[in-house]
Structure 1
Amino acid sequence: MKATLSLSAFFAVALAAPSSHDGFLNPRSTEKTSINWSGAVVQGKNITAVTATFPVLDTKIPAVNETGKHAYQGTAWIGIDGYNKTVCPEGLWQAGVMTSHHALTGEIWFQAWYEWYPDPPVFVDIGDISAGDIINVALNAPTPTQASVVLENQSTGRGFNQTVNLTRPLCLSSAEWIVERAYTLSGLVGLIDFGTETISDITYTVGDELHTSIPDDVTIINIINDEDNNVQQTSTKVSGNIIKVTYLGN
């Protein structure tokens, strides 16, 4: 993993964006738009666990650069309670792997992380990470104030697990499987051209009941670039226990 302090700190801020920008989601249908999220959300009560497998996002800079953007990033992650911050304004439990590419310096780096938002993300060591590595992620929240995370690089056999006592209680009201475009205090970061990201082996647990496929009332989200003529940048498709998020360009 390569990183410079300044750029790492810059992208660390970006991981806090999902819940604070939930208001950009269009509330009128089950297909919604966001400035920084693409993927799928299941809403319910007492959602206590979420799992998925996905490849680390590719590092390609878009063929047509976004105006004024030099840093490009994309993050694949899963979470609990990130979707509706009106219903659950306190916590968000999430974990994933971030891909970053600085267009001017050519620097590329990958970072595995977990986060109990609004606390800052915690970057963790799962060994060397490369684009395309297969990552298994599991989140559990047996109580609203205690949770665990497992991050495993299936391609290398390296992994990490941690149990955390949470400072803000979860509502256990939604499960998320997301590809994210970073949003920082200075605005949107460029979205990396990740091709098609396939999030598979999806499960979620409601109470003690394990669900191994995505329900029909799933909420699908796609990224709209509101800084550039509201161009739709992603397309999300859901089937069974698989979510496919495709980069459409600028």
Structure 2
Amino acid sequence: MQIPVVAALLCANLALAAPGTAMRRQRHAEKIAERRVARTGNTLQPAEGDFNIASTNGSAHVEYSSNWAGAVLIGTGYKTVTGSIVVPTPKVPSGGSSSTEYSASAWVGIDGDTCETAILQTGVDFTIQGSSVSFDAWYEWYPDYAYDFSGIDISAGDTVTFTVTASSTAAGTAVIENETTGQKVTHSFSGESDKLCQTNAEWIVEDYSSGGSLVSFADFGTVQFTGASVNGGTGVSGATIIDIQQSSKVLTDCSTSGSSTVVCSYTG
């Protein structure tokens, strides 16, 4: 994991700042380190309660979930999934507290819906607490934890492309390219004991887990996956649309447009 290194570098520079500023920076670094150590995605978790809530965009929804919003293709032989987003600026949800940390994540992946044994995924977390906003680029072979990439900077408004490729059921790569800055990072997996099925392809906004429970979900505005493709060609036509439902309230409104675009908006 990269965050402990970041925390150490921040602490090493404390002497250059005023004491109050130094303490705030140290506390912030420690909080980020603690959150990232425990951060994990999850397979799709069905929502509790009524699944027949009408969609605000008028389209039929096959699934509601407590943690996933977006689109999922179900089939066979999914080896490469890609999609691009413009990184949003997260906001504190209406009625939320400025002292609470709110987060959401956008990612592409293989498996995790009908295949529950593993997920190969990569994406970006966006987090807000008060007026402080941060972004983390990560990769994950679930059920292992997510790990931060180093060597890439993410800011609101950047165009970022995610790609995951399964070279086998136990190996593959996760790639994030910041089209705005030209930075690109790659992580390779091999010999994974939790095997992929290669039967699900996803473009997801997630309320991910930290410390064993869902994080407080941020108002992410709108996330639009463009250039969504599978195996270099097949797009999102025929995908299952998923929205997040928590405590009988639908928090997102997702849809597809054409064959290569998935749009999710926070409705809170």
Q: Which band: TM-score by shorter chain?
A: 0.7 to 0.9
Greater C-alpha Rg: 2
What pairs up with 1:49-60 in 2 under 5 angstroms? 49-60=80-91
Residue 74 of structure 1: aligned partner? 104
Equivalent in 96, 119, 125 of residue 92 of structure 1: 119
Percent identical among aligned pairs is: 29
**Going by fraction, where is strand more abundant, 1 or 2?**
1
User: Please, which of 62, 72, 80 is the counterpart of residue 41 of structure 1?
Assistant: 72
Query: Within the alignment, does 1:139 sit opposite 2:164 as a pair?
Result: yes
Which digits, 9 at most, give the CA deviation of each residue in 1:43-92, with x for residues without a partner? Answer: 111111100001223121123217x98110011001101112xxx33211
Q: TM-score, normalised by structure 2?
A: 0.79
C-alpha contact (below 8 Å) 1:234/1:247 kept by paired residues? yes
Segments of 4+ in structure 1 off by > 6 A? 25-29
3-state DSSP class of the match of 2:38? Answer: helix
Q: Does 1:223 align with 2:244?
A: yes
Residues 97-116 of structure 1: pairs in structure 2 closer than 5 A: 97-103=124-130, 106-116=131-141
Task: Tell whether 2:169 aligns with 1:151.
Answer: no
User: Cα distance, 1:27 vs. partner?
Assistant: 8.3
How far did 1:24 drift?
3.5
Scaled by the length of structure 1, what TM-score is found?
Answer: 0.84
Q: Residues 137 and 152 of structure 2 are in contact (CA less than 8 Å); yes or no, is this contact kept in structure 1?
A: no
Q: Which runs of 5+ in 1 are unaligned?
A: none
Is contact 1:72-1:189 (8 Å) kept? yes
How far off is 1:97 after superposition? 0.5
Give 2:202's aligned residue: 176
Hey, what's the Cα distance between the residues in 2 that align with 1:239 and 1:72? 28
Match of 2:233 in 1: 211
Q: Cα RMSD over matched residues?
A: 2.5
Alignment CA distance shift 1:212-1:171 (3 Å): closer
1:172, 1:69 → 2: CA distance? Answer: 41
**Aligned-pair distance for 1:31?**
2.5
Deviations along 1:7-35, one digit per CA (max 9) or x if unpaired, are: 3432553433x21x524388898521111
Q: Which residue, out of 217, 233, 237, partners 2:251?
A: 233
Structure 1 residues 27 and 59: CA distance shift in structure 2, 3 A: closer
Distance apart, 1:195 and its partner CA: 1.4
- The answer to whether 1:193 aligns with 2:219 is yes
Query: 2:147 corresponds to which residue?
Result: 122
The whole-number CA distance in structure 2 between the counterparts of 1:72 and 1:47 is 32
**For structure 2, which runs of at least 5 residues remain unmatched after alignment?**
1-5, 7-24, 53-59
Pair 185,32 (structure 1): closer, same or farther in 2 beyond 3 Å:
same
> 2: distance between equivalents of 1:93 and 1:143?
11
- Deviation track 1:153-207 (CA, whole Å, cap 9, x = no partner) reads 11111110122102322111101100011333464322222211111000002xx
CA separation in 1, counterparts of 2:185 and 2:226? 20
Take 1:194 and 1:7, find their aligned partners in 2: how far apart are those partners? 19
- Call closer, same or farther: CA 1:78–1:144 in 2, change over 3 Å: same
As a proportion of its length, which structure holds more helix?
2
